[in-house]
Amino acid sequence: MRLSRIVRETPTVSSLYFDSTDGTPLPAARAGQYLTLRLAVGDSAPAVRSYSLSSAPGSGYRISVKHEAHGRGSGFIHGRLHPGDLVEVASPRGTFVLEESTRPVVLVSAGIGATPVLAMLHQLAAARDARPVWWIHVARDRARHIFADEAHALLDQLPDAHEHIYYTAADAGPASGERRPTPGRPTAASLAALGLPTDADAYLCGPTAFMDDIAGHLREHGLRAERIHTEQFSSLSAVNPGVRPSSVSTQISTSSAAMVSAAGSCAPRATASAVTAAAEALWTASVVSDRQGDQVTAGARLEAALGLLQGRDGLAL
Ligand SMILES: Cc1cc2nc3c(=O)[nH]c(=O)nc-3n(C[C@H](O)[C@H](O)[C@H](O)COP(=O)(O)OP(=O)(O)OC[C@H]3O[C@@H](n4cnc5c(N)ncnc54)[C@H](O)[C@@H]3O)c2cc1C
């Protein structure tokens, strides 16, 4: 796929826009899904990394990548990719997607975790969806408040929208426009005070501890556990801890993507070659499924990656 444009969003986050190389339409994505990229990072093995689409479904692919200190994949993306470059990208996948429903929607994110829920907000705004929509975002300060204006403009297009922003830095700086961020992090009390509807579907993305806390607060407030959906960007250790997944496939899909991410960063017992093999397994499975025009199940991808990590031969596909 051709990288058509790079846009700097904050000092540490840039958005990348992709086109197909031959003008053919891009495979459809559902709001909340992610792309898997295989990055030729140089002398070592390619880095396989997943990035949620932050764009509206049907409007082309945009991912938004935070430059992690010492990060192989994000460092390569920020330092070495330029418009016009070709990048290996698998079709969108993932089951953290906006459900069709008439219930209220609560979108909660922290930092770069805004990406998949922003895609959901785009979908809701494009449909002028009548559901009550709550946008709750936690940023360090105004300078690191990703998609502040874009999200605000999307919420303006909805008939029943509620926006609540939290800034965690003590010196967060002035609020922009009429928006008045709440200092600190959301607490059980501050969330309860918002009057969130208890029959809502909630979609959470951010650091694991953040999602654990918010999911707990939402359950205490009365939301049903199976209506609290989470997307895991980083560690394997806590896939929806304390939250009963809405379906087994959600949990498996989250695990398989997170596993490669975790394997690339901090899996303590995996050897470097096993990590590379697991990443390649996910990539191979993704590409095979794309070629077949068919989604390989998340379970099969997880199984293939696990098999390689455990030293089993071949792909179970
Ligand atoms: C489904 C899914 C969706 C995702 N969506 C997004 C998204 O929209 N945007 C986004 O930015 N990310 C997203 N991610 C995370 C992304 O896939 C990568 O995990 C992330 O970019 C980090 O990869 P990396 O190669 O830069 O870091 P790695 O090289 O894998 O390092 C992992 C971590 O270890 C730290 N580290 C590595 N080496 C050192 C060292 N020597 N000293 C100190 N620290 C070190 C890095 O800072 C980094 O935080 C998503 C992940 C998943 C699973």
What's the CATH code of the domain at 139? 3.40.50.80
Distance 75 CA to ligand 1 centre (A): 9
Query: Which of 250, 276, 297 is the C-terminal boundary of a domain?
Result: 250
Distance between CA 217 and CA 132 in Å, rounded?
20
For residue 160, is it within any domain? yes
Which backbone phi and psi does 298 adopt, to 5 degrees? -60, -35
Are 85 and 160 members of one domain?
A: no
pLDDT, tens digit, 9 for 90 and up, residues 29-74: 999 999 999 999 987 789 999 999 999 998 899 999 999 999 999 9
In whole angstroms, how far apart are CA 308 and each of 249, 256, 265?
21, 13, 17
For residue 259, is it within any domain? no
Are 181 and 121 members of one domain?
A: yes
Distance between CA 39 and CA 43 in Å, rounded?
12
Are 171 and 283 members of one domain?
A: no
Query: Which of 66, 94, 122 is the C-terminal boundary of a domain?
Result: 94
Distance between CA 220 and CA 108 in Å, rounded?
16
Query: Which of 250, 281, 296 is the C-terminal boundary of a domain?
Result: 250
Are 231 and 118 members of one domain?
A: yes
CA angle 168, 106, 199 (to 5 degrees): 135
Instruction: Give the mutation target among 10, 49, 91, 230 for probing the ligand 1 site: most ligand atoms within 8 A of CB.
Output: 49
Are 111 and 243 members of one domain?
A: yes
Please report which helix (H) or strand (E) contains residue 183, including its range: strand 182-183
Positive or negative, the CA dihedral 242, 243, 248, 253 is negative
Closest ligand 1 atom to residue 76 Cα is 26
In whole angstroms, how far apart are CA 276 and each of 15, 48, 263?
26, 8, 8
Q: Does position 125 have pLDDT exceeding 50, yes or no?
A: yes
Closest ligand 1 atom to residue 254 Cα is 1
Distance between CA 18 and CA 238 in Å, rounded?
32
Which of the four pLDDT bands, split at 50, 70 and 90, describes residue 173?
low
Q: Does position 154 have pLDDT exceeding 60, yes or no?
A: yes
DSSP states of 207-253 as a string? Answer: -HHHHHHHHHHHHHHT--GGGEEEE--S-STTSSTTS--SSHHHHHH
Beta-carbon contacts of residue 81 (< 8 Å; ≥ 6 apart): 3, 6, 16, 87
pLDDT, tens digit, 9 for 90 and up, residues 225-275: 999 999 999 744 433 333 344 433 333 334 344 444 444 443 444 556 666
Instruction: Give the mutation target among 252, 261, 266 for probing the ligand 1 site: most ligand atoms within 8 A of CB.
Output: 261
DSSP state of 22: T
Per-chain mean pLDDT for the chain = 82
For residue 219, is it within any domain? yes
Q: Which residues line ligand 1 (CB under 6 A)?
A: 34, 47, 49-52, 63-66, 68-75, 94, 112, 115, 231, 233-234, 257-258, 261, 264-265
pTM summary value: 0.83
For residue 220, is it within any domain? yes
What's the CATH code of the domain at 10? 2.40.30.10
In this prediction, residue 199 carries a pLDDT of 97
pLDDT, tens digit, 9 for 90 and up, residues 126-146: 999 999 999 999 999 999 999
Are 60 and 118 members of one domain?
A: no
- Strand 133-139 relative to strand 61-66, pairing: unpaired
The mean pLDDT value for 177-190 works out to 84
CA angle 251, 147, 59 (to 5 degrees): 75
For residue 1, is it within any domain? yes
Q: Does position 315 have pLDDT exceeding 60, yes or no?
A: no
Are 36 and 160 members of one domain?
A: no
Q: Does position 164 have pLDDT exceeding 80, yes or no?
A: yes
For residue 257, is it within any domain? no
- The β-bridge partners of 2 are 19, 86
Output the six-digit token pair for 100.
């069709």
Closest ligand 1 atom to residue 66 Cα is 11
CB 81, CB 17: distance < 8 Å:
no
Please report which helix (H) or strand (E) contains residue 50, including its range: strand 47-52
Output the six-digit token pair for 81.
């990719």
Coil, strand or helix at 286? helix
Nearest CA to ligand 1 atom 13: 51
Q: Does position 185 have pLDDT exceeding 60, yes or no?
A: yes
Are 109 and 246 members of one domain?
A: yes
Nearest CA to ligand 1 atom 52: 233
- Domain around 312: 267-317
Are 236 and 280 members of one domain?
A: no
Are 81 and 111 members of one domain?
A: no
Q: How many domains does the chain have?
A: 3
Are 112 and 234 members of one domain?
A: yes
- Strand 105-110 relative to strand 201-205, pairing: parallel
Residues shown for the chain: 317
For residue 261, is it within any domain? no
- The β-bridge partners of 39 are 47
For residue 314, is it within any domain? yes
Are 166 and 280 members of one domain?
A: no
Distance between CA 286 and CA 280 in Å, rounded?
10
pLDDT, tens digit, 9 for 90 and up, residues 98-108: 999 999 999 99
Distance between CA 178 and CA 166 in Å, rounded?
14
